[in-house]
Chain A
Amino acid sequence: MAASQEGATSDRDLMARLAAGDREALAPLMERHYPRLYRLALSYVRNPDDALDVVQETFVKAFRKADRWDGSTEAGPWLSRVAVNQSIDRWRRNRRRQATFTPLAEGDHDESLAAGGPDPDRRVLRREMRDRLAMALEDLPERQRAVVVLRHYQEMSLDEIAQTLGMRLGTVKSTLHRALGRMRTGLRGELQS
């Protein structure tokens, strides 16, 4: 999560330009953070199309609200925070949609996520494991899931997570512990087999 690159404009400079309404600063910022934010969103919403929408909204918000970035945190965690909030919004929306209307068409993201080896049995097992994992993640409360995503999908330190989510370090620790314990319960049968 380096804030600046050698020989390139720093994230801080880019954010300052965005805050001044310079839209040209979006391209280098996106080049730098798009794949990471996409993985963050995908690990939360578990659907590639939704993840792209989340990243799109994140950069639109970054442009619109760059003037609210006070520079006390690095741009990376700030963008991650926006992406987490967008992911939570998208997740709530999808859940409401499933509760009220029929679920979204399924299956299209499975292929793109499939970790296929040549062995079909192994592929099926992996796929089942992935589905169970997704369900275990989905069962977590929003904040616990955000902590797991930032720790294990974004490989952030606990301090970075605290900074990104605006939580105290102690709260991050207890949240992570509770989240893993809850996932263990959800995955118990799968992990034993």
Chain B
Amino acid sequence: MIGSQVSHLRFRRRVGLLAAGALEGRDQERTRAHVEACPRCRREYAELAAVVAAIEADPVRSAVPELPVSALLDRVDRQIDRAAARPPVAWRRLALPAAAVAALAVVLLGPELASRLGPEPPAPAPTRATVAPDPAAALSAEMLDRLDRNMARGSTARYLSEAQDVLLAVAATEADCVREEDRVDVGEAPDRSRELLARRALLVEGRPEAVASARAVLDDVEMALREVADLPSCVRRRDVERLRREVDQRHLHMRIRLMTRELEG
């Protein structure tokens, strides 16, 4: 009894393969014999064969591309040329965060660097054995924190502003890359979007509380940038129009402008 069940289970998987026309020779014969002797398998085979028949009636199987091969070759050539004309993305992705880190280091380490590299400072006044909290030191920590916070907000404002430039550039693009197919060349916008998305991660990781009020706008901008980042540089005009409508529906430009103003104080 158990043996026949094991045998049945073994054949069950083959029923699918039989329906898919993927069995040959002895395997096919044995499975077919099992199916004929087993009412449940027969029913299963009939249903799976109907699925296969439905797939085989799908007109996609014989679809012919409307675009001639010469036109596709032209598109491929252009894409290769455009990619060759651009510097590697990875290098450019690193450049902006690296510059931001360098700028932050200068601001935070500035006094320390100045004290090491600048003229000899006057000798400190003698200190007492018990040191009271130094209001100047506390003030400078507070100032540094405020400076850091302001920098985070400033970086976010610049990020939003640059993101807006990209979205506006995409929406306004008129340069046809393959005129007959109603496609437009969005140029570097996908690459710039990817760079901005890389910066966006740094913004949120850095001082999340400093830009908490911008979170909703940042999220919507991120979605829009992801859309742009996914575009090929030669894109269907209607895809650009759809993106523009989506941005408009979310009033993204107005929200970016308001948030940028708020962040810049």
Contact = CB atoms under 8 A, between A and B. Distances in A.
B42 to A, nearest CB: 14
B79 interface: yes
A30 to B, nearest CB: 6
Interface stretch (B51-59, B104-112, B167-175): B51-59
Interface in B44-98: 47-48, 50-52, 54-67, 69, 72-73, 75-77, 79-80, 83
A56 B76 contact: yes
A129 B76 CA distance: 35
Among the interface residues A51, A115, A184, which one has the most CB atoms of the partner chain B within 10 A? A184
Interface stretch (B12-20, B144-152, B157-165, B199-207): B12-20
A191 B98 CA distance: 60
Interface in A36-65: 38-39, 42-43, 46, 48-49, 51-53, 55-57, 59-60, 63-64
B30 interface: no
Contacts of A176: 16-17, 20, 22
A96 B226 CA distance: 10
A101 B227 contact: yes
Interface of A: 23, 26-27, 30-31, 34-35, 38-39, 42-43, 46, 48-49, 51-53, 55-57, 59-60, 63-64, 93, 96-97, 100-102, 104-105, 112-115, 126, 129-130, 133, 136, 148, 151-153, 157-158, 173-174, 176-178, 180-181, 183-184, 187-188, 190-191
Interface of B: 13, 15-17, 19-20, 22, 47-48, 50-52, 54-67, 69, 72-73, 75-77, 79-80, 83, 223, 226-227, 230, 232, 236, 238-239, 242, 245-246, 249
Given A23-B77, A35-B64, A158-B22, 7 more contacts: A31-B69, A39-B63, A51-B65, A55-B72, A56-B72, A114-B59, A152-B61
